[in-house]
Amino acid sequence: MTAIAIMIPMVMPIKVLLEPASFTLASHVPIFFALFLSPQIAVLVSLGSAVGFLLAGFPIVITLRALSHVVFALVGALYINNRREDILSSPVKSYIFSFWLGIVHALAEVAVVSLFFFGLVSGGDYQDGFFYAIFLLVGVGTVVHSMVDFFIAQVMWKSLGKQMNRIAKKVTA
């Protein structure tokens, strides 16, 4: 999963770059899949994803946004750890979990980008206002992107059936 997380930003043909936002289709899927397994795996795959964005040559603000994925991955993995089957088998619970996790994800990314926007970290010169550049593009965009990638990961998880639940139980044992 870490290798896939590193490769996605490097080879995925569907990328939208509207600095400080970027949307690379399926870039969070390995992180969500790892999150379904364990907190430790989620953190390691998140770190790998950040390496992928760095190696792909994305701007530093986007690479640091990728590094912030450790936050939502850890929080989500800790929450879902003993509730995996219950949440992933219920459309309503998985939608609520995905939205809640998307908010955590967005808050972490907004915090990173805000450091650049307000000049606390150099490397970003944003002409657009805070509401558009940070709140709409990064904040709302991240929630939507996160939920789409969560859905993709959930479909993959379910398609693998009971095998994944057995693997998850072994990993957490």
pLDDT at residue 40 in the model: 96
Please check the confidence at residue 120 and state whether its pLDDT lies above 90.
Answer: no
What average pLDDT does the chain have?
90
The C-alpha atoms of residue 93 and residue 54 are separated, in whole angstroms, by: 34
Q: Do residues 87 and 94 touch, judged by C-beta distance below 8 A?
A: yes
Question: Which residues, at least 6 apart from 166, have a Cβ–Cβ distance to it below 8 Å?
Answer: none
Task: Output the CA torsion sign for 85, 91, 95, 96.
Answer: negative
Structure tokens at 68: 């912030």
pLDDT at residue 144 in the model: 96
The 3-class SS string of 86-128 reads HHHHCHHHHHHHHHHHHHHHHHHHHHHHHHHHCCCCCCCCCCC
Please check the confidence at residue 124 and state whether its pLDDT lies above 70.
Answer: no
- At 3-18, the pLDDT tens digits run 999 999 999 888 888 8
pLDDT at residue 162 in the model: 78
Structure tokens at 73: 């991955």
pLDDT at residue 131 in the model: 79
The C-alpha atoms of residue 171 and residue 66 are separated, in whole angstroms, by: 25
Of 53-57, 130-134, 150-154, the least confident: 130-134
- At 34-67, the pLDDT tens digits run 999 999 999 999 999 999 999 999 989 899 999 9
Compute CA distances 173 → 41, 45, 46, 99, 162, whole Å.
Answer: 14, 20, 22, 28, 17
* 3-state SS assignment for residue 155: helix
The C-alpha atoms of residue 39 and residue 168 are separated, in whole angstroms, by: 11
